[in-house]
């Protein structure tokens, strides 16, 4: 079976992710791109990974520098995400418009990011048109704020189930998880959880 690019994007786009700007330095020059393929890997030792397009200007910079920072964007930072996305535009202008400071590794830390994770590259694996950079976490930090969410090629924000109002297919958001699942199952909505299988 052959999977088309369009099918792949349409299906995987239904998995919501956070948004990061991954940064490093090319000598003294800061470099960064928007990335949503970022994940924690291990607690002991602390490891995280990021997947970077091999055509991206950041790719070879991270290979040479041996470190990167993942700046986790807040709900009000969609413009920063757009600014660092893609290959076009003046790459230096991105940082002129975005306040930042140097982290422990020297990687740029965006001042308005709600969190950052700095890593030393310990391995690089092939991943099709991307490379998978595995990094040992050497520094991190966080501040208050809700994350920026990316879903089906659109930006959004997080609305926790334990507060706030909302309604999806007759299931009111804000209810407890068990109540929400019970209501959804009673309504015949596919939750991915079969009756009696919850712990």
Residues 132 and 176 in one domain: no
Provide the domain limits for residue 76: 5-154
- For position 178, what pLDDT does the model report? 40
Q: What is the pTM of this model?
A: 0.78
Contact criterion met (CB below 8 Å) for 20 and 34: yes
CATH number at residue 134: 2.30.110.10
Tell me which DSSP letter residue 186 carries: H
Predicted local distance difference test score (pLDDT) of residue 75? 93
CA distance 135 to 97: 28
Same domain, 134 and 90: yes
Pair 116, 181 in one domain:
no
Above pLDDT 70, what percent of the chain? 76
Q: Which of 13-27, 57-71, 85-99 shows the lowest per-residue confidence on average (mean pLDDT)?
A: 85-99
Q: What is the pLDDT of residues 122-137, one digit of tens each?
A: 999 999 999 999 999 9
Residue 6 to residue 72: CA distance in whole angstroms: 27
DSSP codes, 78-91: HHHHHHHSSS-S-H
Total domain count, the chain: 2
Which residue in the block uniquely carries the two structure tokens 């700095």? 118
Same domain, 65 and 141: yes
Among 52, 77, 50, which residue's Cα sits nearest to residue 149? Answer: 77
Tens-digit pLDDT profile for residues 137-196: 999 999 999 999 998 888 888 776 665 544 434 333 333 334 443 444 444 444 343 444
In 3D space, the residue among 102, 80, 124, 136 whose CA is nearest the CA of residue 30 turns out to be: 102
Residue 111 and residue 186 in one domain: no
Same domain, 118 and 71: yes
SS3 state at 63: helix
Same domain for 110 and 176, yes or no, is no
């Amino acid at each position: 079976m052959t999977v088309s690019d369009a099918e792949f994007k349409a299906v995987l786009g239904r998995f919501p992710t956070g948004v990061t700007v991954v940064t490093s330095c090319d000598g003294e020059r800061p470099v960064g791109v928007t990335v949503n393929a970022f994940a924690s890997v291990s607690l002991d030792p602390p490891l995280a990974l990021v997947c970077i397009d091999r055509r991206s200007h950041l790719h070879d910079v991270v290979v040479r520098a041996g470190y990167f920072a993942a700046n986790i964007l807040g709900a009000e930072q969609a413009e920063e995400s757009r600014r660092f996305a893609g290959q076009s535009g003046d790459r230096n202008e991105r940082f002129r418009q975005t306040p930042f400071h140097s982290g422990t590794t020297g990687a740029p830390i965006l001042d308005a990011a709600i969190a950052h994770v700095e890593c030393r590259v310990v391995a690089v694996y092939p991943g099709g048109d991307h490379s998978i950079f595995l990094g040992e976490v050497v520094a991190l930090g966080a501040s208050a704020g809700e994350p920026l969410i990316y879903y089906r090629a659109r930006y959004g924000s997080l609305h926790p189930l334990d507060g706030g109002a909302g309604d999806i297919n007759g299931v009111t958001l804000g209810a407890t998880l068990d109540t929400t699942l019970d209501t959804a199952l009673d309504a015949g909505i596919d939750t991915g959880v079969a009756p009696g299988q919850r712990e």
